[in-house]
Structure 1
Amino acid sequence: MTKADLVERVTAQIAQTAGPMISKKDCARVVDAFLDAIKESLERQDNIEVRGFGTFKIRRRKTRMARNPRTGSPVEVSARPVPVFKPSKELRALVAGAEPDAVAKAEN
């Protein structure tokens, strides 16, 4: 799914539940603002938790040895921060085919 597909789907869902109160252009601005907020938070090394969906965070990769694919010689790859996403239990259950409500009930 592309960002354009996401905007289309969100616009359709809003129109279905609340009526045609938001244009596709405005919805695209909302999606862009949401993604920008995630990027800015990750840039500040902050975690972003979206309940029922998952957590975006920064993980620090350690320095490691790799190989140059052309020459085969060892190359040191320096430590660096990388963004990661950890899905919530509900999202993992949904993807696995279980009902998210059943997962929430089992946790309580």
Structure 2
Amino acid sequence: MNKGELAAAVAEKTDLSKAQATDAVEAVFGCITDALKKGEEVRVLGFGNFAISERAASTGRNPQTGEKIEIKASKQAKFKPGKGLKDAVNS
């Protein structure tokens, strides 16, 4: 399911038009992104948690040349599913 299909499914389950549902889906993703940029966690009870994980700088190797390269430190978004989501998927 892509973002357009998600918006269509939201529109179908609510009394929103497809355009309104698209705006709502975009707003939810925007709010999650903004919170993660600020270093905040986003917890959705029964669904899961979104958080930022720090990756330390490291030294890697170019597989074609064998040359050592420096890999910069970075941040990654992580999602940990909640019990409600796990139960729904496994039922």
- % identity of equivalent residues: 33
Q: How many corresponding residue pairs?
A: 91
Structure with the greater relative contact order (CA < 8 A, sep ≥ 6): 1 or 2? Answer: 2
Whether 1:82 and 2:90 are equivalent positions in the alignment is: no
1:43-76 deviations in Å (ceiling 9; x for gaps): 1111000111101110101222222133122212
CA distance in 2, matches of 1:8, 1:85: 24
**SS of residue paired to 2:65:** coil
TM-score of the superposition, structure 2-length normalised? 0.90
TM-score of the superposition, structure 1-length normalised? 0.77
Residue type at the aligned position of 1:93: D
CA distance in 2, matches of 1:74, 1:82: 23
**Once the 2 structures are TM-superposed, how far is the Cα of residue 84 of structure 1 from its aligned partner?**
0.7
Higher helix proportion (structure 1 or 2): 1
CA distance in 1, matches of 2:4, 2:13: 14
Q: 1:36 aligns with which of 26, 30, 33?
A: 30
CA distance in 1, matches of 2:23, 2:43: 21
The CA RMSD measured in Å over matched residues stands at: 1.3
Whether 1:73 and 2:82 are equivalent positions in the alignment is: no
CA distance in 2, matches of 1:88, 1:34: 18
Runs of 4+ in structure 1 deviating by more than 6 angstroms, as ranges, are none
Gaps of 5+ in 2: none
Pair member with larger Rg? 1
Residue type at the aligned position of 2:71: V
